[in-house]
Amino acid sequence: MNPRQDGQRDAWSLLLLKAQRAHQQAQQQLALAQSREAQLLASEQRVQAMLAEYRRRQTEALDGGQMMADTRNDRQFMAQLQRLLDQSFRATAQARRDREAQAQAVLAARAEVDKAEKLEAHARARERVWRDRVEQKAQDDLATMRFQWRTA
């Protein structure tokens, strides 16, 4: 009886296909995480630039004798910008952690693909050995029958 059934061969191929799909999906998720991190970093840099610009303008305005009400409004706006910047720092840090976790998921998925490829190759090698044994036995049986016919 054939130790390799068609279902077994299909199982190894399916296992490999599943691992490849999981790897591909992990790569896509990593790309999304990288994109999100880049967007958040760009946003963070814009807020930093805006905050720096308002600080510079406030310093110039104070030197130029700006009105007290304008100064208070600028300070309130800068405080809002600072809170936004703090939120941006936290969001960027979280996005970085998400990207790093997704990169680890890609590595794990790649390891699963490698493992599935090795299992499939091992199964195919076992199948070839079995097939070679069956062919050799058939040849041996044929040779034995021919020998018996000649001697009979």
> What domains does the chain contain, in order, with CATH numbers?
12-151 (1.10.287.1700)
pLDDT on residue 8: 55
Taking the C-alpha atoms of residue 50 and residue 146, their distance in angstroms, rounded to an integer, is 95
Evaluate if residue 103 carries a pLDDT over 60.
Answer: yes
Burial of 152 (0-12, 13-18, 19+ CB in 10 A): exposed
Average pLDDT over residues 16-27: 96
Neighbouring CB atoms inside 10 A of 42's CB total 11
pTM of the model: 0.72
pLDDT on residue 1: 44
Taking the C-alpha atoms of residue 33 and residue 65, their distance in angstroms, rounded to an integer, is 47
Average pLDDT over residues 7-17: 79
Evaluate if residue 117 carries a pLDDT over 80.
Answer: yes
Residues whose CB is less than 8 angstroms from the CB of residue 66 and which lie 6 or more positions away in sequence, other chains included: 58, 74
Helices (H), ranges, the chain: 6-63, 68-151
Residue bearing tokens 């800068």: 78
Evaluate if residue 3 carries a pLDDT over 70.
Answer: no
Evaluate if residue 14 carries a pLDDT over 80.
Answer: yes
